[in-house]
Amino acid sequence: MREVIYFSTKKQLDKESFEAFLASIFQFNDFCWTPNFYSYASENEIDHFKTYISFDTSYEGYKYHYSVFNNDAIEIPIKNRVQTLKKLSAKVNIEILSTDDEVAPFSWVLIEPNGQTSTIQTKLIDDLIMDGYYNFPFGDFRVTEPLTEKEQTTLKEIIKDIYPNVLIEHSTDRQIINEDFNKVKSNYQNLKKFNNHYEIRPIGKNEWIDREEKSIQFVLLMKKFRVYLQKDICVFPRNFSEVKNIEGGSDSEEHCILLTALGQEKIIYKERRKSWLKFQ
């Protein structure tokens, strides 16, 4: 059984209306409701022709939790899942919390009946009580010399159509999530002088964008900024690190994109291991 969608609400959905929605969107039928699908599946034989709706409640906040399982469903990218839940939110006129594609247990996508989506953080993991709007970085980049105040103002102007308000944080030779880039950049002639690091973090309530789209938009905007600067820029889009399962565990591949007057070059500065077992 594949989990098709998972979400939480403040108000309980009408059972028949929700089933009708699933039937219209996914052509699901023959529904079976359970308090906890995994507990149910461990104690009962699963009918692979049914669609299972797992429904559970917690104490506060977005306390009604729904998971939909179907054997024949294909995996839905998170962008499509959010679009589907936007339709549901508008139909039932209820706010919905969906999972985010960032690896953070407190981060959720808030979907409002008017179609707005934004990223929020919750106070707790078990009880989903909203604790304000939250923004992951739009992206990171490095230059060889510090930006002037005018250059930072221009950068904000370039970004404002996507994020009207941002913080641009500067540090010297800052770590990028971990130390992998700093360890190896001296080995690359075209990277070794990029010692001034900048992180762009949106402020306030902003429209949610999935990581892949955010990464595409970030590179496009940084190309415009490079034209303005007339200097090379080393860019770390949001998807610069990609984790995959390998033999014995998981590992990441990390890359940066070097923007120059000649174009762009993707540089993989950390390769993914093929297996952990040979290192034991």
Higher pLDDT, 103 or 71: 71
Residue 185 has pLDDT above 80, yes or no: no
Mean pLDDT of 255-266: 94
The token duo for 207 is 């429209």
**Which tens digit of pLDDT belongs to each residue from 24-64?**
999 998 999 999 899 999 999 999 999 999 999 999 999 99
The token duo for 162 is 């996507």
Confidence of residue 271 (pLDDT cuts 50, 70, 90): low
Mean pLDDT of 269-274: 69
pLDDT of 104 reads 82
Higher pLDDT, 166 or 1: 166
Q: CB-based contacts of 162: which residues, under 8 Å, 6+ apart?
A: 138, 209, 217, 221
Residue 251 has pLDDT above 60, yes or no: no
Higher pLDDT, 74 or 278: 74
Where b means 16+ CB within 10 Å and e means fewer, 61-85 reads: bbbbbbbbbbeebeebebeebbebb
pLDDT of 247 reads 58
**Alpha-helical segments (H) within the chain:** 15-26, 37-43, 78-92, 149-159, 180-184, 211-229
Mean pLDDT of 256-266: 94
Neighbours of 140 (CB within 10 A): 23
Residue 279 has pLDDT above 70, yes or no: no
**Contact criterion met (CB below 8 Å) for 211 and 238:** yes
Q: From CA 250, how far away is CA 24, in angstroms rounded?
A: 38
Q: From CA 150, how far away is CA 56, in angstroms rounded?
A: 53
pLDDT of 149 reads 97
Quote the percentage of the chain above a pLDDT of 70. 90
pLDDT of 6 reads 94
Confidence of residue 177 (pLDDT cuts 50, 70, 90): low
pLDDT of 276 reads 56
Q: From CA 170, how far away is CA 174, in angstroms rounded?
A: 9
Mean pLDDT of the chain: 90
pLDDT of 181 reads 79
Place of tokens 């729904």: 66
Confidence of residue 273 (pLDDT cuts 50, 70, 90): low
pLDDT of 280 reads 47
pLDDT of 174 reads 63
Residue 128's nearest CA partner among 44, 60, 39, 219 is 60
Specify the long-range contacts of residues 255-263, CB closer than 8 Å, at least 24 apart.
Answer: 256/142, 256/181, 256/191, 257/219, 258/190, 258/191, 258/232, 258/233, 258/234, 259/219, 259/222, 259/223, 259/226, 259/232, 259/233, 259/234, 259/235, 260/226, 260/232, 261/230, 261/232
Neighbours of 111 (CB within 10 A): 27
Quote the percentage of the chain above a pLDDT of 90. 72
**Which tens digit of pLDDT belongs to each residue from 140-160?**
999 999 999 999 999 999 999
Pairing of strands 130-133, 64-70: unpaired
Least confident of 63-67, 79-83, 248-252, 259-263: 248-252
